[in-house]
Structure 1
């Protein structure tokens, strides 16, 4: 397959027609996968806010005070309030905030961004990224769209691209019941294709000021496999989440 960034994407503003912006800059094929950074999706959807929009309640002030004690630097309780309002579950509150968003993604600070936001303090993730992907798909010649973001991973340094929402394809490719080269039946292998494509796209999107938030994946073939949309683990079977909940951070 081939990946290439869509050139000359301008600064996206609230209310902009993001699909038209993409269509005007690239000749898309029907079977392309269009990977769009959540940053520009959020901007088009008006998910820009200021800290003043989140007056801090008692819980947010408590969290900010604890983080300040750990980090040794001032923490704004209004940011903690924004994180709380964007989350349905607070897994860790020290030494950083690890939360579950309303659409199931687990990440630091509910994915709230403070970079590449020229006129505001905060950029929140799209409310429902798969619905965002579906709207883009409806207005693009391509049949498959992935809304991407970057986040860290347990047990490894560094960030990588992940899928927040998708449309026109299933999230995971299921290899269970198929055989390896020695004829052994695969029993557990479910491949998170949308995450893999998001990570590949992120190599071109980058993390700085490159201005390439849209990447086209061409000639990706799903193959003769089953699939599912079960990207996020159920809480009952997520043993890492259970362990994190039971763990408490101690600092001197």
Structure 2
């Protein structure tokens, strides 16, 4: 039976904090268990803060800020973190992050980042798969780093995996048979995304203050794959 256990009592994470040390007393490694942590606490520990006062927007950012009605300093950071602008409209800026994820504002956020005023923002980790691998090695438990994504044809956000280690983020079932003996042609299961979304039920999206959760009762029979395996390559982009 799958069970989701919130991890509480971590407090506000500060730059330089050792997440593994903070999480170790709250995590008991088991064969059927995955630790899910929010991107936000990973970014905080890695000091991915930027003070907007230090940002000087260029001409491209200023033009894009006018079109999107956003702070040009924020837009400059978004462009620096992105490989392409996917969609720009009033109050909307969707980009392809340098890691391949397509997301709003390159994942740059100002909510729940502690003291510092309205001119401080938090960027994604430099490499969430590397961050997940470090936690996995230190704690001896599979790890998913989760972030909240919107979806282009549905309202609301869901948690997805932007980093993973110690588990197969993507399980390829092509070639397997269904219950009627038909060969599966396209089925690939985004296991890490499903685990991240399940953990989101315990962690919440607003002021809950629960930055991690443990998902028990899981099983898989595939080799570990990082979360980068979930990113569809550009040559397979169906919507450009």
TM > 0.5 fold call: yes
Distance 1:178 1:227, change over 3 A: farther
Counterpart check, 1:80 vs 2:72: no
Name the counterpart of 2:112: 116
Aligned to 1:189: 187
> 1:220 is paired with a residue of what secondary structure?
coil
Partner of 1:47: 48
Q: Please say if 1:162 is aligned against 2:160.
A: yes
Deviation at 1:132, TM superposition (A): 0.4
- TM-superposed CA distance for 1:4, in Å, is 0.5
Kept in 2: contact 1:160–1:199 (CA 8 A): yes
- Indicate whether 1:105 and 2:101 are aligned: yes
Match of 1:89 in 2: 84
Q: Report the Cα distance in structure 2 between the residues aligned to 1:76 and 1:201, rounded to whole angstroms.
A: 32
Alpha-carbon distance in structure 1 between the residues aligned to 2:107 and 2:124: 6
Equivalent-residue separation in structure 2 for 1:30 and 1:184 (angstroms):
31
Q: Structure 1, residues 110-135: CA drift from partner, whole Å, max 9, x if none?
A: 01111012233201111100000011
Instruction: Name the TM-score, length of structure 2 as normaliser.
Output: 0.92
Residue 102 of structure 1 deviates from its aligned partner by 1.5
Match of 2:219 among 204, 218, 221: 221
Give me the whole-angstrom Cα distance separating, in 1, the residues matched to 2:39 and 2:225.
Answer: 22
Give the Cα–Cα distance (whole angstroms) in 1 for the partners of residues 186 and 31 of structure 2: 32
Spell out the pairing of 1:1-252 with structure 2 (5 A cutoff): 1-29=2-30, 31-68=32-69, 75-95=70-90, 96-120=92-116, 121-142=120-141, 144-223=142-221, 225=222, 230-240=229-239, 242=240
Residues 152 and 160, structure 1, Cα contact 8 Å, conserved in 2: yes
Runs of 4+ aligned residues of structure 1 deviating over 3 Å after TM superposition are 225-229
Structure 1's unaligned 5+ residue stretches are: 69-74, 243-252
**Do the aligned residues in 2 keep the contact of 1:8 with 1:25 (CA within 8 Å)?**
no
Structure 2 residues without counterparts, runs of 5 or longer: none
Higher radius of gyration, 1 or 2: 1
TM-score (structure 1 length as normaliser): 0.88
SS at match of 1:103: coil
Residues 199-229 of structure 1: CA distance to partner in whole angstroms, max 9, x if unpaired? Answer: 0011111011111111111220014x57765
Supply the distance in 2 between the matched residues of 1:175 and 1:118 (Cα, whole angstroms): 43
Structure 2 CA distance for partners of 1:147 and 1:226, relative to 1, 3 Å: closer
Helix, strand or coil at the partner of 1:212: coil
Q: Distance in 1 between matches of 2:10 and 2:22?
A: 7
